[in-house]
Structure 1
């Protein structure tokens, strides 16, 4: 139970400033009830200060530096995949307004394609907490939502950003409406030549063994564009109907690896992607029950193209096209059994279709499948101190039924301190590519099974919020793609993986006269090891950290506001990451630890704001993926005009 007292005093203060008159009124007490699961689970809401400070960035950049998620970036503007606690990218569920946008074929999401300008609210659910949203997310879930701005139903906003490496980003938002209906249209266009310099340490000249050449990122440009249409309507005092449509297109070139020493006109690679997602949501709110039904659609296409320049033109090496279609329905019924107990029934049904074809080798596949997640949850506040959630979920797929239960509790030791515990059993079914990809798919794969135990504590005061969580996760039948004698790879259920560690998040706000300071801290210690048996003689991977999983990572964001000006510092670092299953320590197979610092400053001038940002201010060279360099120091200037 949350008590908010003296809201009326704030309204009076506003009236005094506007009219220079004051009134005395009685104290008003407003009481709001919080869902018990919200208190027992590990849910991190990305603060609006962070969203506002990174509106021209991708979602991957935001999550990397401000959440427990590890983001693997294949280069500036290139693919970004997310993992929780050492799990695979397909183990992270991603939702946009209730639409699961994970690729039905490979199960992953490219976070570099999601502009934060299109997102109003972002939350992160780790481990067991993600099971309230969906089954199968062994690592966690990322949820993005659109929010109706009923207080500002009309107006527009324009953002223009220019930066290093011939980068230009343009954004616009037009909103019209009234107290019953709002239409919001957002659009963006992004371009970058992306030709940043870097020191190539992967090519050695025998005649000059200490020399490392400075090269430029070639064939790395991109064009991106997209639009989003949102309509929010109030049909009645207790009924809403919302519709959202989101379209993105991307055309980007993929540079060669830093080890490439061939002709720069060879192995020219390009990837074109487009997506169209939509959701129609109907809500009914009653005194004793709530009901929601949502229809969803997600269509994605991808063309991976590689060619060589020859004397009479270009020769195609790879021409791979993939098309996926997903249609679904989500229902949620919540029953308020008493002021202290609620019961809900949820279902998510989806039909996925995949068409993948490679023209040069003339091989591919077409597959469709139906999947249904459904479950029941019982949420209780037994007292002002004790809260519990019990949930029994089910996954029905390929004529098989799997149970996925979890339980969580929170006990308030004192006013600011609570302790929490969670236990869950989860199931992740193989992706369509795991089962049917040509060549190499394995239709005999078993589902991955996970048992997770978590414990933690939270400290919540008016201006300080600290959460610390310890976790242990055991995954059986982990799917691994392995090479074969037929010169292609195939997936197998080969590993048992143990993931254990600690996650810390902390937020704080302080006011010193005219200066307001906001801070956000994240820290993760994560040991994720292969606890299976050797796959062959000489297999040294057992007991070793999984590849590309840092043992330690963390970030700090500090923002200070003085009247109309602000200054922010953002830092993020990772320990070394191995790229071999045997954890070889050679520099050629290890990603070195790094620490980055970004600085931004700006000013608000009535309807206009201007921001100057310096990324990687210490000019460090770093990698997150082997042989895929990232830029050193760079700059961006952003102007924002808003009239609401």
Structure 2
């Protein structure tokens, strides 16, 4: 207590005026309503004060931190430099966490939603933000945190009054500029001051040893981290900051039958992860030519297709649990953040028996856990931050431990972005609006092994996301939003006895979606899929495998749009079996079948058969498959004034033939995968006299080929892949269907991706390129989206220390500033920048 009193007394020149501000602020907050002082200052602006506060607000940005850091380094006071940097890191993460937690509207949105609406003009030369990131003020947190810490460090304690005045100028500027309310800067000042006191207390006990080795790492992060708080600036950059990498190696195959080995598959390596444009699975896999991504805007709905199939024909499986949404049937890849996941794998072609229905085009496997090759015992940590000029910010934390017979991990993740990038399409230009995005989530896994009880593993994944739905270039609706919540869990037990493996799995995927716009009131759509599975497998001399499993699934949905009371249930039982025989000459033969009954009706069987041959320098396989896709609840039961479902729909049925050949040598490999998929009973929504309704209208044939090569020699690596698939409507129930003989909408027949990497001892330079071909926007293929090329450049340098390695990287996305759209009237960002640091233990 005496030390606290002495500390306050020593720094009274800072704390006494600050106490007066807290008292006055409390009185003002109690006497006047929210927004009063914002409007008062807006009414009394002039050119002089506009210019003054435009620069005063920068006291809460990067430059003061950077100057303070350089001053301490110049004086050789590394301990103070490290504490200042640590304060910047803590303020960025705390500011974002609090903003995401409270999600309070900015003044612009607050006054726009008032009754009646109130116009809040911006200060000339600035833009007003309209997201839900008002409370607390990040600028005020940064200013009070930094200047309080400098006051504590100062030998002449009277300078504390000057430091308090600088912090107060920052707080007032946030209100004057219309970016924050009084309550925001009031709370921001308290949070920043408390963090400064915490850092100063740690500084008094901080060990001097080893500080210098950390300064180089922290120096690169300070200028960029604080820039994330600069809401009024418009530097079009995106910056990647520290990532403590745990593992990137694959875990055990998700296919119990082992059929994954005989399918065209792709697993992103460290180079692709480094050059990925964003931290979601969609952007990562989009670096493969076979993965055709469609996105409305950054952070919004992102769907994908493989081999000419529809976006609802790509199945996502997480630790053996299908994540197919029963309402809409599609996977939104922007909601699968890489920091919450371990291994990621892409399988092309029809699914095998143990995948179930819905995998006509392919499968994306998402898994938790660490690599089985990673045998290091003990606890390791992972931390990640990302910030950027479009309001982008990510924070991540991961813990992983391994002990004899057990292992586990925990991942936490926070992300947000304003995504208010400038765009220009032809002569049309503007800035993206109503495109804010925020997400928070946590995933955990545990695994225990006992020779007597077997192996137990458990996985859980909770996630919440809020997104504004951006208007197209021809729309004016600026208040469409969507909120998503997900809770997923899987429990798996497996026991091995001589030649036999017995297993049990239970899991559930629950999702809630709330969409709201100026035209539609909020209405939650909730889906829940529950699964139970029993399986039995037998191996004999590693040459023969027999596998059989029984699976029970319940799919439920609650929505105001479901006819007959707002509830739908689908009850499914399936019997899966597979047989594989491997011969000594490298030949493998296999077959699998999935017999499924849904709501007392027998469905078309899922069937696969393959023959494969593998030697030292080449491998090939021939594979036939039959898969089906059930109609969604929207297709069956939708009820609305303008549309209605069709309960008589039949499943979509697809048959595919694939031949793959790969030839490899020392440092190189080439491959080709030729395939043809024919899909019958394709479901399409059409408009007639009674409104919109779905029908089994079309038969689509999608022939194609995927070719590619990889070459590496010494420090160089070159990879290129080209995919051509042309899904064409061959038959239609409507003889006047304009799509007959034409390609499906929005699907690019051609896509090419290439990567050139130079990797000397501690340096990496990666130039990546992608080409996306023409996408037709009308059924008769009369109109289309123009093809586009994208180039990205990534540079990385690694420093190795005794117990850890530090990798700093720099990235330019869309190097040539290409203006492009995946979908009509939906512009995408131009050039973006990133700089970052990756740290991992050795």
Task: Report deviation, 1:38.
Answer: 4.6
User: In the alignment, what sits opposite 2:734?
Assistant: 535
Deviations 1:8-67 (A, max 9, x none): xxxxxxxxxxxxxxxxxxxxxxxxxx9873553323333344235549521001111125
User: In the alignment, what sits opposite 1:408?
Assistant: 610
2:813 counterpart of 1:615: yes
Deviations 1:80-104 (A, max 9, x none): 0111122122211101111211212
User: In the alignment, what sits opposite 2:505?
Assistant: 294
User: In the alignment, what sits opposite 1:209?
Assistant: none
User: In the alignment, what sits opposite 1:248?
Assistant: 463
> Cα–Cα, structure 1 residues 50 and 131, in superposed 2: closer, same or farther, change >3 Å?
farther
Aligned mate of 2:424, from 177, 192, 199: 199
User: In the alignment, what sits opposite 2:627?
Assistant: 426
> Within 5 A, what are the aligned runs for 1:302-321?
302-307=513-518, 317-321=520-524
User: In the alignment, what sits opposite 1:443?
Assistant: 647
Tell me which moved more, 604-613 or 466-475: 604-613
8 A Cα contact 2:527 2:558, kept in partner:
yes
Higher relative contact order (CA 8 A, sep 6+): 1
Q: Secondary structure at the match of 1:562?
A: coil
8 A Cα contact 2:509 2:530, kept in partner:
yes
> Cα–Cα, structure 1 residues 123 and 622, in superposed 2: closer, same or farther, change >3 Å?
same
Task: Report deviation, 1:377.
Answer: 0.9
Task: Report deviation, 1:240.
Answer: 1.8
> Cα–Cα, structure 1 residues 520 and 399, in superposed 2: closer, same or farther, change >3 Å?
farther
User: In the alignment, what sits opposite 1:140?
Assistant: 362
For residues 467 and 582 of structure 1, the distance between their equivalents in structure 2, rounded to whole angstroms, comes to 34
8 A Cα contact 1:85 1:139, kept in partner:
yes
> Cα–Cα, structure 1 residues 318 and 591, in superposed 2: closer, same or farther, change >3 Å?
farther
> Cα–Cα, structure 1 residues 620 and 127, in superposed 2: closer, same or farther, change >3 Å?
same
Tell me which moved more, 547-556 or 228-237: 228-237
8 A Cα contact 1:421 1:454, kept in partner:
yes
2:557 counterpart of 1:354: yes
> Cα–Cα, structure 1 residues 437 and 43, in superposed 2: closer, same or farther, change >3 Å?
same
Aligned mate of 1:37, from 252, 259, 266: 259
For residues 718 and 378 of structure 2, the distance between their equivalents in structure 1, rounded to whole angstroms, comes to 31
Task: Report deviation, 1:247.
Answer: 1.1
For residues 536 and 733 of structure 2, the distance between their equivalents in structure 1, rounded to whole angstroms, comes to 48
> Cα–Cα, structure 1 residues 373 and 554, in superposed 2: closer, same or farther, change >3 Å?
farther
User: In the alignment, what sits opposite 1:124?
Assistant: 346
> Within 5 A, what are the aligned runs for 1:84-483?
84-148=306-370, 149-151=374-376, 153-201=378-426, 212-236=427-451, 239-260=454-475, 262=476, 266-307=477-518, 317-357=520-560, 365-402=566-603, 403-412=605-614, 415-439=616-640, 440-483=644-687
> Cα–Cα, structure 1 residues 51 and 396, in superposed 2: closer, same or farther, change >3 Å?
farther
Deviations 1:514-554 (A, max 9, x none): x3x344432211111011137264x3210100011111112
Q: Secondary structure at the match of 2:358?
A: coil
Aligned mate of 1:493, from 672, 679, 696: 696
**RMSD of aligned C-alpha atoms?**
2.4
User: In the alignment, what sits opposite 1:25?
Assistant: none
Task: Report deviation, 1:388.
Answer: 0.9
Deviations 1:115-144 (A, max 9, x none): 112222122222235455323311111111
For residues 336 and 177 of structure 1, the distance between their equivalents in structure 2, rounded to whole angstroms, comes to 29
2:812 counterpart of 1:626: no
> Within 5 A, what are the aligned runs for 1:473-622?
473-487=677-691, 489-510=692-713, 512=714, 515=715, 517-533=716-732, 535=734, 537=736, 539-585=737-783, 590-606=784-800, 607=804, 608-622=806-820
Q: Which has the higher strand share?
A: 1
Pairs aligned (count): 576
For residues 415 and 182 of structure 1, the distance between their equivalents in structure 2, rounded to whole angstroms, comes to 35
User: In the alignment, what sits opposite 2:117?
Assistant: none
Q: Which has the higher helix share?
A: 2
> Cα–Cα, structure 1 residues 368 and 281, in superposed 2: closer, same or farther, change >3 Å?
same
Q: Secondary structure at the match of 2:286?
A: helix
8 A Cα contact 2:352 2:607, kept in partner:
no
Q: Secondary structure at the match of 1:430?
A: coil
> Cα–Cα, structure 1 residues 237 and 470, in superposed 2: closer, same or farther, change >3 Å?
farther
User: In the alignment, what sits opposite 1:68?
Assistant: 290
8 A Cα contact 2:353 2:578, kept in partner:
no
For residues 73 and 52 of structure 1, the distance between their equivalents in structure 2, rounded to whole angstroms, comes to 21
User: In the alignment, what sits opposite 2:248?
Assistant: none
User: In the alignment, what sits opposite 2:172?
Assistant: none
In structure 1, the gaps of 5 or more residues are 1-33, 202-211, 308-315
> Cα–Cα, structure 1 residues 544 and 390, in superposed 2: closer, same or farther, change >3 Å?
same
8 A Cα contact 1:358 1:364, kept in partner:
no
For residues 460 and 287 of structure 1, the distance between their equivalents in structure 2, rounded to whole angstroms, comes to 37
> Cα–Cα, structure 1 residues 354 and 573, in superposed 2: closer, same or farther, change >3 Å?
same
For residues 460 and 433 of structure 1, the distance between their equivalents in structure 2, rounded to whole angstroms, comes to 47
TM-score (norm 1): 0.85
Task: Report deviation, 1:179.
Answer: 2.4
> Cα–Cα, structure 1 residues 279 and 305, in superposed 2: closer, same or farther, change >3 Å?
same
8 A Cα contact 2:676 2:703, kept in partner:
yes
8 A Cα contact 2:667 2:711, kept in partner:
yes
For residues 327 and 493 of structure 1, the distance between their equivalents in structure 2, rounded to whole angstroms, comes to 28
For residues 283 and 445 of structure 1, the distance between their equivalents in structure 2, rounded to whole angstroms, comes to 39
User: In the alignment, what sits opposite 2:28?
Assistant: none
> Cα–Cα, structure 1 residues 71 and 347, in superposed 2: closer, same or farther, change >3 Å?
farther
> Cα–Cα, structure 1 residues 558 and 450, in superposed 2: closer, same or farther, change >3 Å?
same
Q: Secondary structure at the match of 1:483?
A: strand
TM-score (norm 2): 0.65
For residues 550 and 630 of structure 2, the distance between their equivalents in structure 1, rounded to whole angstroms, comes to 17
In structure 2, the gaps of 5 or more residues are 1-255
Q: Secondary structure at the match of 1:317?
A: coil
Q: Secondary structure at the match of 1:468?
A: strand
For residues 616 and 189 of structure 1, the distance between their equivalents in structure 2, rounded to whole angstroms, comes to 25
Q: Secondary structure at the match of 2:329?
A: coil
> Cα–Cα, structure 1 residues 385 and 317, in superposed 2: closer, same or farther, change >3 Å?
closer
For residues 708 and 553 of structure 2, the distance between their equivalents in structure 1, rounded to whole angstroms, comes to 34
For residues 86 and 135 of structure 1, the distance between their equivalents in structure 2, rounded to whole angstroms, comes to 17
Deviating beyond 6 angstroms after TM superposition, the runs of 4 or more aligned structure 1 residues are: none
Tell me which moved more, 107-116 or 446-455: 446-455
> Cα–Cα, structure 1 residues 243 and 214, in superposed 2: closer, same or farther, change >3 Å?
same
8 A Cα contact 2:357 2:630, kept in partner:
no
User: In the alignment, what sits opposite 1:26?
Assistant: none
Task: Report deviation, 1:213.
Answer: 4.1
Q: Secondary structure at the match of 1:90?
A: helix
